[in-house]
Amino acid sequence: MIPAQRLFHLLWLWLAAGVVAAFWPTLVMVWTGLGALMLLVAAVDLLATLRQPEISVLRQVSGTLALGVWGEVRLHIQHAAKSPIALEIFDHFPAHVEVRGMPAQTQIPASGWAEISYEIKPTERGEQCFAATRLLVASPLRLWRRSRRAGAGECVKVYPNFAAMTSYALFATDNRLSMMGIRLRQRRGEELEFHQLREYRTGDMLRQIDWKATSRLKKLTSREYQDERDQQVVFLIDCGRRMLAKDGELSHFDHALNAVLLLSYVALRQGDTVGLMAFGGRPCYLPPRKGAGVINSLLDTVYDLQAGTSSPDFLNAATQLMTRLNKRSLVVLVTNLRDEDNDELLPALHLMRQRHLVLLASLQERIINDVLSEPVRDFSAALRHSATHLYLGERRKAHEAIKAYGVLGVDVEPEKLPVALVNRYLDIKRSGRL
């Protein structure tokens, strides 16, 4: 039980009356009677509060939430008291969320119910748990507040933000992909699979014309090709300490997962199989598979995967992957490359390059470009500017050394990685390199 503000106001009034009674002794008996009456009223109000029936709270929240996306939580509060009650609600939401609309206040009619809602935005993936709801229930005369816990705790799963995949579904036709920044290269018909015959269109190459079908149908008929299907795309994700770097609200690791999910979605729509392996932290492996259910399997595999503080062992990861993959695949290694990584990374890339086509996706820190865009006004800024150029020069040398091994590369800021990876994947498919 907690004394309410109204009770303190009454006590201050009673003390003020005591000061007055000190100057007029004839009012002492009245002052004493007022104190006794206040004590009786407070006791009766306290007893009424203790006799209030239990309050039930039912929380309604989606069992799965997306990282960085606002979601709604609804609380259904019901009681069987014969008089209205006023209460403050403090829902014990998970620690790694931002909240709007909590705490809240409401009044429930006699033997009635009320429903309130608030919003949460997860800031960390994984399993996030709610505890029981705390209620501060006002007594009938508002002299006391009783603290109660109601409802049950529950856990929800916070997945990577797969809104990008939903957006991609809206632009999944060739004439609309460019709205996402995804470019479709000119197809090279001789390196693609035959798809169907269709009527000749302006711009078709001469070698696309099927002269036998043209003769039979009495009109120009072209052969239409499609990208090869049933190819393998396998992601090798670095969970080491470099991926803990943050640009904005999300870490590099979270941006990497978003990019992996988008490219997985695109590859599956192209008829390819998709697999995943993580190293440098909690190990996990998802064998290459195809079909609509693979996206759900990927989400369930990576939703609680976190980057750690250990250094990644690239060669060990490459060795494990080679023992698991017999079919030639496009291996997409996602990491945050540094020039000092070359001694460890190059042997791993050379090993995978013997059987697979390797694409290195490296994340740039946004702050590097921010430093270069700042004006140089003093000696300290000049040193910082010079050091940044030196760092970028060493980084370029590292990428050139990797390119010399025949490894493809993508080196962009985290927010640009999803579209950059999809563009490179589509280029590879249309070039027939895989």
pLDDT digits (tens, 9 = 90+) for 297-325: 888 888 888 888 888 889 999 999 999 98
Q: What crossing angle do the helices spanning 252-269 and 417-431 adopt, rounded to 10°?
A: 30
Q: What is the mean pLDDT of residues 236-265?
A: 86
Domain 55-159 has CATH 2.60.40.10: yes
The mean pLDDT value for 112-123 works out to 91
pTM comes to: 0.72
Question: What sign results for the dihedral spanned by CA atoms 12, 17, 23, 29?
Answer: negative
Model pLDDT, residue 212? 83
Q: CATH 3.40.50.410 region(s) of the chain?
A: 163-170+177-183+228-431
Residue 332 is predicted with a pLDDT of 95
* 360 band by pLDDT with thresholds 50, 70 and 90: very high
Per-residue pLDDT of 187-213, as tens digits, reads 444 445 555 677 877 767 777 787 887
pLDDT band at 275 (very low <50, low <70, confident <90, very high): very high
Per-residue pLDDT for 76 more than 90? yes
Number of other residues whose CB lies within 10 A of the CB of residue 216:
10
pLDDT band of residue 400 (cuts 50, 70, 90) is: confident
Residues of the chain with CATH 2.60.40.10: 55-159
Report the CATH number of the 163-170+177-183+228-431 domain.
3.40.50.410
Q: Give the pLDDT mean for 53-65.
A: 89
Per-residue pLDDT reduced to its tens digit, 139-178: 888 888 888 898 888 999 998 877 655 565 444 434 344 4
**CA-to-CA distance for 222 and 198, rounded, in angstroms?**
5
Residue 174's pLDDT is: 41
Instruction: Give the pLDDT band (50/70/90) at residue 227.
Output: low
- What pLDDT score was predicted for residue 285? 92
What span, in angstroms and rounded, lies between the C-alpha atoms of 25 and 18?
Answer: 10
**Got the DSSP string for 256-278?**
HHHHHHHHHHHHHHTT-EEEEEE
Q: What is residue 90's predicted lDDT score, i.e. its pLDDT?
A: 93
pLDDT of residue 6: 87
Q: Is the four-CA dihedral 14, 17, 18, 21 of positive or negative sign?
A: negative
Could you please report the per-residue DSSP string of 231-260?
Answer: -EEEEEEE-SGGGG-EETTEEHHHHHHHHH
Contact 174, 430 (CB under 8 A): no
| Mean pLDDT estimate for the chain | 83
CB 151 within 8 A of CB 132: yes
pLDDT band at 130 (very low <50, low <70, confident <90, very high): very high
- What separation in angstroms does the CA of 204 have from each of 188, 200, 201, 431? 12, 7, 6, 18
Residue 165 is predicted with a pLDDT of 56
C-alpha–C-alpha distance, residues 135 and 59, integer Å:
13
Residue 367: predicted pLDDT: 76
Angle, CA 354 vertex, CA 351 and CA 357 arms, to 5°: 100
Q: Let me know how long the chain is.
A: 434
